[in-house]
Amino acid sequence: MGWAIPTLLLAQLFTSTFCSDALRTQEFQRYDGWYNNLANRDWGSAGSRLHRDSPSNYEDGVYMMNLSLPSARVLSDLVFKGPSGIPNARNMTSMFAFFSQVVAYEIIASTQTGCPLEVMKIPVPPGDPVYDINGEGTDIPFTRAKYDKQSGQGFNSPREQVNEVTAWIDGSFVYSVMEAWVATMRSFQNGTLKEGSQKRYPPLNNPHIPLNNPPPPQIHRLLNPDRLFLLGDSRVNENPGLLSFGIILYRWHNILAQRMQKQHPDWTDEELFQAARRWLTATLQKIIFYDFLPALINEEVEPYKKYMPHVPPGISHAFAAAAFRFPHTIVPPAMILRKNVNACEFREEVGGFPALRLCQNWWNAQDIVQEYTVDEIILGMASQLCEADDLIVVEDLRDYIFGPMHFTRLDVVASSIMRGRDNGLPPYNVLRKTFNLPELTWETINPKLYATNKEMIDKLAALYGGDINYLDAYVGGMLELDNGPGDLFKAIIKDQFVRLRDSDRFWFENKQNGLFTDEEIQQIHKITLRDIIKETTEISEEWLQKDVFYFKEGDSCPQPFQVNITGLEQCVPFMRFDHFTGNEVTYIFTLIGLGCIPLICFGIGYVLIQRRRRMGWDSSFDDLSATAIDDDAPRDHYHIQAFEWLQECYVRQVIVEFSPGVLTVRKPRGLILRKMIFPENAQILVYHSEPGASTVHGPYCLIKLSKTYDLVLRLPSFKHLPEFLAALTLSLKKLDGQVTSIPIQNEQLLEKAETKDRRQQRLDHFFREAYARAFNQPKLSDAEVNDHDSEDVLNQTITRHELAQAMGMRETDMFVQRMFAVTTHSDSDVITFAEFLEVLRKFSEGTMRDKYKLLFAMCDVHGNGRVRRSEFAEFVRSLNAVVGVSISESSQNHVIENILSRSGVNPGSEYLTSADFEAIFTQVDERRPVGVDFRGAKIKVNLQETASLSSFALSTVPEYKCISRDVFGSVAAFIETYRQHIAIMFIFCCINAIVFLERFWHYRYETEHRDLRRVMGAGIAITRGAAGALSFCMAVVLLTVCRNVITLVRETPLGEFIPFDSAITFHKIVALFAAFWAALHTIGHCVNFYHVATQSQEGLHCLFQEAVFGSNFLPSISYWFYGTITGLTGILLVAVMSIIYVFALPCFMKRAYHAFRLTHLLNVAFYALTVLHGLPKLLDSPKFWYYAIGPVIIFVIDRIMGMRQEYKKLKILNAELLPSGWLALD
C-alpha cells in the first residue's frame, strides 16, 4: 500500500484544476535568464559573470595565475590517487553521482575556452605512468576559461569568468538558453518536444546544432555530430548516465504537455509548451533543492521564506571551481547495467566485460543508450553504490578523462586545481574566513587523515613550502572530506543553493509570481525523482527503491559486486596529434606552384619574343599559302600576302600590292604603311634566299631602291618567289626599269638589309661624324663605332627629306630647299658627306663674310647675284614658322624696313645685293652665335660658341668631373622642375605608410581577443597592413588611367598643382607599389597559413569567429588554399597579377605589345577576384570596397565618356605629321 500512495498523489496532480485559465495570462520565463530580477535584469543570465564572494588571488592582482604553486599533476598523484572500488559509507547510489552532473550542467558552464586561447602547462613528473612513460618530460595542457572582456583591466577590476548557461534552476539542461535552439527541438504540436525515429527518444542532431563533439579518446578521431541526441545542453551526450537523465527529463516534458492538452484542448501549442516547461522546472527545483541538496551536504535545509530580489543569484567562483567538484570523488569507474525483466537480473557481459567502463565510452553514450535502453542504465544506477566520499578519484577521471585531439586524456583533478587558480580563488584559509570558519593548520584540517596518513600530509606541506596559507582551496576543501563534504564545501554549496532559491522570481514556492496555487505547491513538494522515472520508463515500481539516491537495507535488487577496475576493459592510453600531419606535401607543392607562376609567365613571354625573333612558322602562313596571289586581280595589279621584316625582334603581316610603277605595303585591314614609287629607268636590286636555305620557312626578299630604305619581305613559300619577281618586273615594264635578282644566304640577306631603323642609325652617325670633324670635337663621335664604319660614312649621302627630318622641318620649307641647294654640287637629289662638311665648316670656322655670303646664296634663288626683297621676306617668314614665331606680314615687313634703314640700304630698292647683305650683317655683334637645331638627329649645335656642344646627345661614355657647386645647382634645378611630381610622390608614399601602419598597429596590439597575435605573431599584422596599402594602390591606379576625366580636370585650377601629363608614369609607380604590397601580402599569408593549419578546432574558432566549422571537420592546408573562397581567389589573384605584371614589363611590352594589351584586360577579373577575396570575412569585414568604390565610379564614368567619343562622328579635313612627331588634325 505504501508504494501506491505516491502514484495516487501523482494522479491527483493531473486530475485537479491546477491548470486554470489564469495560467494563460502568466509571464513566460525567458530562456536566457534575463529579466528574472527586474531591478538587475542581467543577474543570473547566460553569459553573466560568476559571483565573487571573496577577494581574488591573482599573482599580479589582475589576471595572472600564480605559477610558483606546486604542479597540479603532482598534487593529483600525491593526494587523490588510490584504489577504486571502495563502497560509499552512506550507501549513496551512482544515480546520485550522475545526477550531480545534471545539477552542475543545469546551473554551471564556466569552463568554455575563451579567446584568445591561453594555454598553460601543467608540469608532469618525469616517468609519470600515464603521461610520461618514457621519462622524456611533458606537460598537460590547460586552457584558461572564457572571461568578461570588461574585466581584468586593473586592480579594482580583476578577471571575472562567465557562466554560459543561466544560474537559475529553470530547466536549461532540457531547453537550452537560446530561443533558436529550443525551436529546433519543438514539434510545435500540442506543446511537445520533437521525437526521433525511435519512439520516446529525442531526434538525432540532423539540424547540426552546435553540440559538444570532442573526439572520443578511445578511438582518437572525429565523428559525425549527426550521431548525437539533440537535447538542451550541448554536453548531454558525454556519458550514458548523463544522457539517460536528459532523455528522462525530455520524456517528462512531453508527458506533462500531453496531460495538459487533455485538460485544456483549447490552449495553443505555445501555451501548452510553456505550461509544461513551468511544471518541469518546478519539479526540477524541488528535486534539486529538497532531495538532492540534503543528500549532498548530509543535513536538512531551511524552508523557503520569501522572494528576496536583493540577493545575487550568480554562481560563485568558489562553488564552480572548487566546492561543487566534490562529487568527482564518488563517481565509479564503470556502470552496472540491470535488465528490466521484472526480476533482479544484471547484465554479466557488456561489451565483453562485467560493467561499462567510463574511460572507454566517453562521447559514445548514444550508442549505449540505444543498445541497452535507458531503463537498464537507470536500474543499474539505482542498484550500484557509488565510490566513497574520500580523497580518492578513480583513474577514469583522474588519468583518462577525455581531452582535445592533440592530447586525448586529461586529469580532472589537476584541471580542477588549475581552474581554481584560473578563477583567482583565494587560498584555503582565506576562503574559510570568508565563510566565517576558523583557520586550520596541516594537523587540524582532517585530524583522522593526519593520524592515518601523516606522510602524505607532510609531503603536501613540503610542496607548499610548509605554509598552509598557500594551500589551494580545492585541495584544502577536499582534505576535509569525511563521509561527505567538509565544513568549507558544505558552507559554499549551501550558500549557493539558498541564494539561487531566494533570488529566483520564478521559484515554484514564490506565491507572488502567481504561477502556482498553494495546493499545487504542496503537490509539487510530493513529487520525487522516483516518480518521474516511473512515469518516463517502463520500470515497475517494485524494482525501484523509494529514495533512488540511497540504497538502504531491504531495498530490492542490490548490486552483485562493488565495481572496481579489476576485470574491466583497459583504458586506451593518451595519444597526441599534430594537426599539420599529412599537410606537408600539399603545403610544399603549393608554395612551389605559387613561386612558379611568375616564372611560367616569364617563360611564356620569352617564348613569344623568341618566336618573333626567329619569325617561326605559324598558322597564319597556312592561310597565306592558300591565297598568296590574287588570281582574280587585273593583269597589271597583283596582291600578295607576306610578312615585313622590320628588325630582329619585330615582324608584321602585310599585303603587298603591285601596280604600274608603284609597290604599296598595306595592313591586312587596308591601312597604307608604305609606298615605293619607282622612277623611270629604275634599277631594282632584289636579294632573295637561296633555294634550300630554309626548308621550313618561306624565302626572304630584300628590295633595294636608291634614295630610300630597303624593304624586306618574307613570302609564304618558295613557290611564290617566281610569281613575286614576275609581278615586280611587270610593274617596272612601262618605266623601262630593270630587276636584278641575286640569291644569297638568309643571314647575309638580313645583314645587308638597310631598314628604316638601320638607316636612321646611319644618319645619326652621319651627322655626329660631320659635327665632330667640323668642330674638332672627337667626343661627338660614337664611341661604339669602329674606324672602318667611320670611313664608310664618307661614302654616305642624304636626301632632301632626310635633311628636313634631321632639322625638324618640312621638306617643302624654303629654308630646307635653299640649304639643300647651296650644299649639293654633284647631284641635285642627294648631299654627300664632303658637301655637308664643307657647309658646316663655313658656319663654324669661316669669317662673318663667308657666313653672310652663304646666306646670300641661300636667298639667291635664281643665282643672278641679287635677291628680291619679297624673296628675302619669305625666307625670314619661313625661319619664323620653323621656330614657332607667329607674326603678321605687315609687322614683319615693318621690322625688315627698319633693319634695312639702319643698315643704309635704300628702302625703295626692289633687289638686295651682296653689298646690302654685308651692310646688314656688319651691324651684328661679331660674337653673336649662329645656331642650327638638328632635332631629328638629336643634335643641337651652337655654331659659334662651341662650348654649347655640351647639349649634344652624346654616347654613354661617362665624363668624370669633380664634385662642385654645380651638383647642388643641378639638384636644386631638378627639384624646381619636378616640384609638383615630388610633392605628389611624397603625399602618395605618406598615405601608403599611414594605411600600412594603421592596420599593422590594429592587428598587432588591438585584436588580442582574436588570438591572431599568439598564433601568427607579427605575420598577421604585416599581411593586413600590406592588404590595406594594396587596396589603396589599387584604387589610385584606376584614377591614373581615367584619360577623359584627366583631360577635363587638367583645365581646372587643379592642373596648376597636379602634373596630369605624368599620369602614365605615375600609373607605373603606383603599380610598382601595388606589386610590392601584393608580394609582401602573399608571402606573409603563406607563412600564416602554416600557422593556421597547426591549430586545433578551439584555436580556429578564435581565429575565424565569423566562420563555422563542423565539429567533425578538421581543416587541412589544402582546405585553406583550395577549399575557401579566400584561398582559391588568392591563388587566382597571384596568377592574374603575375600575368598582368610580367607582360607589362618594358622588355615584353616592346616586343609583344599585343600580349600586353590582352593581358591588361584581365584587370577586370583582378578587381572582381579582389572583391571576392574578402567576402568570407575570415579575419575582418571586407574593406577593399571602401577604397575602391569612388575610383571605380570615376573609372566607369570615364569609360562612358570614352565610348561616347568613339561613337561620335568626327569630320577630319586635314591630317599632317609634323616634324616634331605630332599629328596635326583639322
> Which residues are annotated as part of the binding site for heme b?
328
Main-chain dihedrals φ then ψ at residue 1116, nearest 5 degrees: -100, 175
Determine if the peptide bond prior to 116 is cis (ω within 30°).
yes
C-alpha 984/C-alpha 237 separation (Å) is: 65
Q: Where are the beta strands (DSSP E) in 596-733?
A: 638-647, 650-659, 662-666, 672-677, 683-689, 700-704, 711-714
* Rounded Cα distance, 765 and 935, in Å: 14
For residues 53 and 474, give the distance between their C-alpha atoms in angstroms, rounded to a whole number: 16
**Can you give the length of the chain in residues?**
1226
What is residue 37's DSSP assignment?
S
* DSSP bridge partners of 350: 353
Judged on CB neighbours under 10 Å (0-12, 13-18, 19+), 468 is buried
Give exposure, 236-245, as e/b (b: 16+ Cβ within 10 Å): bbbbbbbbbb
| CA separation for the pair 1104, 1115 (Å, rounded) | 12
**Exposed/middle/buried for residue 444 (C-beta within 10 Å: 0-12, 13-18, 19+):** exposed
Contact between 616 and 639 under an 8 Å Cβ cutoff? The reply is no
Please report, for residues 741, 1167, 1168, the alpha-carbon distance to residue 1130 in angstroms, rounded to integers and kept in the order given.
60, 12, 12
CB atoms within 10 A of CB 909: 12
CA separation (Å) from 411 to 97, 124, 419? Answer: 18, 11, 12
3-state secondary structure 745-797: CHHHHHHHCCCHHHHHHHHHHHHHHHHHHHCCCHHHCCCCCCHHHHHHHHHCE
Three cell numbers written together for 460:
603536501
**How far is residue 108's CA from residue 103's CA, in Å, rounded to a whole number?**
8
Binding residue numbers: 328
Long-range contacts of 1179-1184 (CB under 8 A, 24+ apart): 1179/1010, 1179/1012, 1179/1020, 1179/1024, 1179/1103, 1179/1104, 1180/1024, 1183/1027, 1183/1028, 1183/1031, 1184/1031, 1184/1034
User: What single letter denotes the amino acid at residue 886?
Assistant: S
- By DSSP bridging, strand 830-832 and strand 738-744 are unpaired
Find, among 387, 388, 383, the residue nearest to 559 by Cα: 383
Strand partners of residue 93? 385
| Number of other residues whose CB lies within 10 A of the CB of residue 1081 | 22
Rg (CA), the chain: 50
Cell numbers at 873, concatenated: 621676306
- Phi/psi at 860 (5° precision): -80, 85
CB 1139 within 8 A of CB 1160: no
Distance between CA atoms of residues 167 and 44, nearest Å: 5
